[in-house]
Amino acid sequence: MSDMHEPQERSYGVIPYRIGTRGIELLMVRQVNGNHWTFPKGHAEEGETVEQTMVRELYEETGISEIELQEEPVFEERYTFEREGVFVDKLVVYRLGKTLNDESHYHDTTGEILERLWGTPEELLQLSLFPEKRALLEEVQKYVCTDVR
């Protein structure tokens, strides 16, 4: 797929992270639809800003309500998927977010999430990931290993 055209669909998400005893850990969720690992994301609702969408989707899929959303860097993921026999080009825009609340409150209000997993970038790369997600995670890994404190 060429990056020269406008995507047919857009979503916005957060790449949640925390600094633990093992260093930087990221949170991924496994979605019911497609049974695949991803970062929390979703579509904007009418009147929402990109940031409001990111924060709302994070809360709905994980219960994380306190997040320090970073302005930069912005990560993009492009892929094509099939919906009802039609191929859809999609762009997902992510920003890093440092979690500030207790993880024991995690929940999914959408029914879209099978499980959540905190792990170092190296651990998460061992999951079965789509190629686009693997490339995104590798890009995030390069950034967090050098620039996040």
- Interval 49-94: pLDDT, tens: 999 999 999 999 998 988 999 999 999 998 887 778 888 888 999 9
pTM of the model: 0.86
Q: 29 and 118 in contact (C-beta within 8 Å)? A: no
d(CA 88, CA 98): 31
What's the average model confidence in pLDDT over 105-132? 84
Number of CB atoms found within 10 A of residue 70's CB: 16
9-147 folds as Nucleoside Triphosphate Pyrophosphohydrolase (3.90.79)
Q: pLDDT band at 129, cuts 50/70/90?
A: confident
- For the chain, the domains span 9-147
* Token pair recorded at residue 145: 């290993």
Q: Using 50, 70 and 90 to split pLDDT, how confident is the model at 112? A: confident
